[in-house]
Amino acid sequence: MKISNSLLQRLNAIPNRFCACRNLQQAPRKFFSGLSYSVLENSSNDPPILMAHGVLGNKNNFNSVSKKLAQSTGRSVITYDARNHGKSPHFDQMTLLDMSNDATKLLDLLNIEKCVFVGHSMGARTAMFTALTQPSRIDKLVVVDSSPRLSNVKGGGATTLHYLKAMRAIVFDCSGSLSNARRNADKQLQEFIPESSLRQFILTNVEEKEPGLYGWRVNLDAIYEHIEKPRHIRLADDMRPYSGDTLFLGGGSSQFLRMDDYPYIKYLFPNCVISYVPECGHWVHSEKPVEFLSSVTSFLKPPKSFCLFEENTT
């Protein structure tokens, strides 16, 4: 679960709303349960794009790429903080059903009948589950470096649990500034997480909860329980495979989307295309934003214009 340094450079906030891809202005909003979200409004009548981030991330992870995606597709783009992440509230329960319902209730609030659901990692599993349980809400599906099957790969659930355990053990210094609190936490994390870029990504979750009191923004206990008890995404008796157009876009150097999973993926998503971005890790949208944008934009156009990267054959 290694992150390139370029990811951290893309976490700076940008304006959160625009009209017709021109006049940009910040306009984050919240909905019924307090989940935080932002909208990049566009003039197209095509179904908007809904983007869901991965574990320990937040909607700001998509700041740069969401703006460019809106400009390249002409569609509105919605990003949001999943429960127990970012500026969204904490809940004890955090199942795929919960997170799927959060997404569709957001669509209801915005009077959106269906969307293009783009999800990365944990967000991708939410998107897949939503497509299988509420297919009428999904126009097209984009799954970024994830699979309905859970594989024991480096950077997977076991590694994430290791990171969460390390975060739980941090003792925050209640004096000084936010930068000092992050610096102190960074020193404590070094023993458990040697990659500096990954620690810096994790440390974006440190916040000042009260004057002089620092801690984690994310709900570690709920996230830990969610990761500790993972499940393959399976069809229940009242479910059917999702027949809509689907793109599985993996990182060529990542192991989250494996050839062993292809038969099961194509059973659940029979109209899927599986593609890889060469020389790219797990964070496809951050490590290779140009290739990510090209793949998604082409996928949303007529099929004849969709150009695949080579499938990973290793």
* Residues carrying an active site annotation: 121, 221, 282
Distance from the Cα of residue 85 to its chain's centroid: 11
> Rounded to whole angstroms, how far apart are CA atoms 73 and 293?
10
Query: Are 52 and 83 spatial neighbours (Cβ–Cβ below 8 Å)?
Result: no
Q: Taking the CA atoms of 201, 203, 205 and 211 in sequence, report the sign of the dihedral they define.
A: negative
Helix, strand, coil percentages (3-state) for the chain, rounded to 5, are: 40, 20, 45
Angle CA 86–17–179, to nearest 5: 40
C-alpha torsion 126→112→105→132, nearest 10: -40
Query: Are 121 and 256 spatial neighbours (Cβ–Cβ below 8 Å)?
Result: yes
For the chain, what is the largest distance between any 2 Cα atoms, rounded to a whole number of angstroms?
A: 60
Query: Are 197 and 5 spatial neighbours (Cβ–Cβ below 8 Å)?
Result: yes
> Rounded to whole angstroms, how far apart are CA atoms 68 and 7?
16
Phi, psi (rounded to 5 degrees) for 274: -115, 125
> Rounded to whole angstroms, how far apart are CA atoms 247 and 116?
11
Q: What is the number of alpha carbons within 13 Å of residue 246 lying toward its C-beta? A: 29
Residues contacting residue 143 through CB under 8 Å, at least 6 positions apart: 119, 124, 127, 128, 246, 247, 248, 249
Phi, psi (rounded to 5 degrees) for 292: -60, -50
